[in-house]
Amino acid sequence: MDEKQQRPRRPWWLWLIVGLGVAVMLFGLGAPSALFSGSEEEVTYDVFLDALEAGKVKEVQLKSGTLYYTLQAEAEAKPTQAPQLNFGFRPLTSSKKTKVYAVTAMNDPNLVDRLHAAGVTFSENAGTGNMLLLVLIQYLVPILFYVAIFSFFFRRMGKLGAGGGLMGGLGKSNARTVEGGEVKTTFADVAGQDEAKESLQEIVSYLHNPQEYTEIGARMPRGALLIGPPGTGKTLMARAVAGEAGVPFLSISGPEFVELFVGMGASKVRDLFKEAREKAPCIVFIDEIDAVGKKRDGFGGNDEREQTLNQLLSEMDGFEGNSGVVILAATNRPESLDKALLRPGRFDRRVPVELPDQGGREAILRIHCDRIKTAGPIDLAAIARITPGASGADLANVINEAALCAVRAGRHAVTQKDLEDSVDVALAGKQRKSMVISQHEKEIIAYHEVGHALVAARQKGASPVHKITIIPRTSGALGFTMQADEDERFLMDKQEAFAKIVTLTGGRAAEELCFDSVTTGASNDIEQATSIARAMITRYGMSESFGMTAFEQVVNPYLGNDTAMNCSQETAARIDREVIALIEKAYEQAKTILKDNRSKLDEIARVLIARETITGQEFMDILNAPVALPAKQEPGEAENEG
């Protein structure tokens, strides 16, 4: 997207000072002081005169009352000098080999004549003009350098006091500003989520026409909080509001407030709201607000974050009723937000943005599908059916993966098969064609998967089988059985929950029944079965002995459904026993079903091994076909073999 982004700039002269400072530190400091470094040998005046008399003196330099001189012989032994940078001041010598002698100058008016007569190179280093510059560079630049560094860090640590400090421009809000009319996203880009759109439509019309609201004396909600799981389009929705309203859109993400340096967050909030007031009417969008808005607790906690939050709260209070600034925020952890943020007058409107239902999924798929080239009949409803629980972002990704898949295959358009394969990729990873699996293992995997499918098909309340495959996947899955409901389900009764567990145990049951051994392949099934069984007992009140008591609470409904146990040790142990019993019962039931359908199990597994993937339809056809065994005749559905 082509957005003009405004970022704070460092002043150019700061860089100049830093550059000069570095230069002085690298080259300058040592050079001028080489002469006075104490390496010269101090001699008395008569020693100097003797040397001069003997014609040994080569070079003399007078400097602030001291004569520095070198001797002939030693000077000739001097090796080639390395070039030196020394700011217009040539030291007498800088080679360590050449000895420099120093002698205090006496009042000796004939010295110059004698030096001349002896053919000595001599000079006086008056230096005052030069020296001034030298001192300036030598001392002032490093000082400026340190001042610059310190003030840079102090600025980062916050604007100490009210003043602007030495340097402007640092500590800006970092908000990305998109000018009015430049946000191209509209409500048309957001599929489903009609209720959320409706809630936000009011804000849009207020921003379009604030007078209508002020005339009647209505006060607009200051802020709306978009809450929902990740990838459901919260960020997208906020942009769409700005796009619809055609006002500037200032967006910043919560984590950007909480910086390494203390006090920055609060000053960023201040700057953000200052900018917003200048740009009003406009929308301020704070993404992932939980990063700053987390509950303040009594245990010290993160001072920086709390200061930022306090600043945010006070800025939100600072608005007059109809200032034209609307604040949107998004989070997937509403339960962790500070109560003060949620009270009326701040984020007084909550807009839930939930996972899409079947119709919503289809609509989202359609929006993203319209952006790619397709070929042949495309049935998006079928894709929506097999993607329960997918978010908008997941679905956008499914479409994109399908397009990538088509490109890989050298085609110019996406087909229905690409889309279906793409769902598999999203679910279980890419196919691992290179993986070599022995015939025996292949058989075990096939029986395991058919075990799931058969148990599902033979139970009331289980979802129909959509696909069975034994192609290994990059996620580590060696095969999977996909089930899909014709219509979306919103409730699950006890029988269905139990049927789910029975289906999950079907894989292991088939292994045990047919190979008389168990493998590690069922680990994921076991995990899922356990969590359903546990939820039935501790959260859904589906256990006879406990009844309607909750022993677990979901702590973050939008992120992974983590739970917190809330019961005594003794109850926890009883719950564990009950979970074990429930799963054991399910496992026995699965084994019974498979025993009763043993010939079908063998037959379907054989077909699956040959074809690697079979559809739900093919599966049902084999299952419903009369058994091909010559001895037995079974009427349709309910077959029972001894």
Contact residues for ligand ADP (CB under 6 A)? 190-193, 230-236, 330, 364, 367, 392-393, 396
The least CB distance from residue 473 to Zn ion, in Å, is 13
The least CB distance from residue 489 to Mg ion, in Å, is 28
Closer residue to Zn ion (CB): 126 or 518: 518
- Which does residue 256 bind out of ligand ADP, Zn ion, Mg ion, none, counting CB within 5 to 8 angstroms by kind? none
Cα separation, 590 vs 507, in Å, equals: 9
Residues 6+ positions from 580 with CB-CB distance below 8 Å: none
Question: Which residue's beta carbon is nearest to the bound ligand ADP?
Answer: 392
In the structure, how many helices (H) and strands (E) does the chain have? Answer: 24, 16
The least CB distance from residue 599 to Zn ion, in Å, is 22
Closest CA to 253 of 210, 284, 278: 284
Closer residue to Mg ion (CB): 235 or 597: 235
The least CB distance from residue 252 to Mg ion, in Å, is 13
Question: Active site residue: 40, 259, 288, 449, which one?
Answer: 449
Is residue 270 within 8 Å of 305, Cβ to Cβ?
no
Phi-psi region of 88 (alpha: psi -120 to 50; beta: other; left: phi over 0): left
Answer for which of 40, 275, 420, 525 binds Zn ion (CB under 5 A) is 525
How is residue 156 written in tokens?
Answer: 């980062």
Closest CA to 400 of 380, 378, 426, 381: 426
How is residue 223 written in tokens?
Answer: 């802020």
Closer residue to Zn ion (CB): 338 or 525: 525
Q: Is 449 an annotated catalytic residue?
A: yes
How many residues contact Mg ion, by CB under 5 A?
Answer: 1
- The yes or no reply on residue 21 touching Zn ion (CB under 5 A) is no
Q: Which among 63-71, 161-169, 186-194, 502-510 is the span making contact with Zn ion, rule CB under 5 A?
A: 502-510
- Which does residue 507 bind out of ligand ADP, Mg ion, Zn ion, none, counting CB within 5 to 8 angstroms by kind? Zn ion
Backbone angles phi, psi at 628, to 5 degrees: -80, 5
Question: Which residue's beta carbon is nearest to the bound Mg ion?
Answer: 235
Closer residue to Mg ion (CB): 177 or 235: 235
Cα separation, 429 vs 23, in Å, equals: 55
Closer residue to ligand ADP (CB): 285 or 480: 285
- Which does residue 158 bind out of ligand ADP, Mg ion, Zn ion, none, counting CB within 5 to 8 angstroms by kind? none
Cα separation, 352 vs 433, in Å, equals: 42
The least CB distance from residue 365 to ligand ADP, in Å, is 9
Helix (H, G, I), strand (E, B) or coil at 255: helix
| Whole-number Cα distances in Å, 259 to 171, 253, 265, 269, 328 | 11, 12, 6, 12, 22
Closer residue to Zn ion (CB): 396 or 456: 456
Dihedral angle at the C-alpha atoms of 448, 450, 451, 457, nearest 10 degrees?
160
Answer for which of 57, 507, 509, 537 binds Zn ion (CB under 5 A) is 507
- Which does residue 616 bind out of ligand ADP, Mg ion, Zn ion, none, counting CB within 5 to 8 angstroms by kind? none
- The yes or no reply on residue 235 touching Mg ion (CB under 5 A) is yes
Pairing of strands 57-63, 66-71: antiparallel
Residues that bind Zn ion (CB under 5 A): 507, 525
Residues that bind Mg ion (CB under 5 A): 235
Catalytic residues: 449
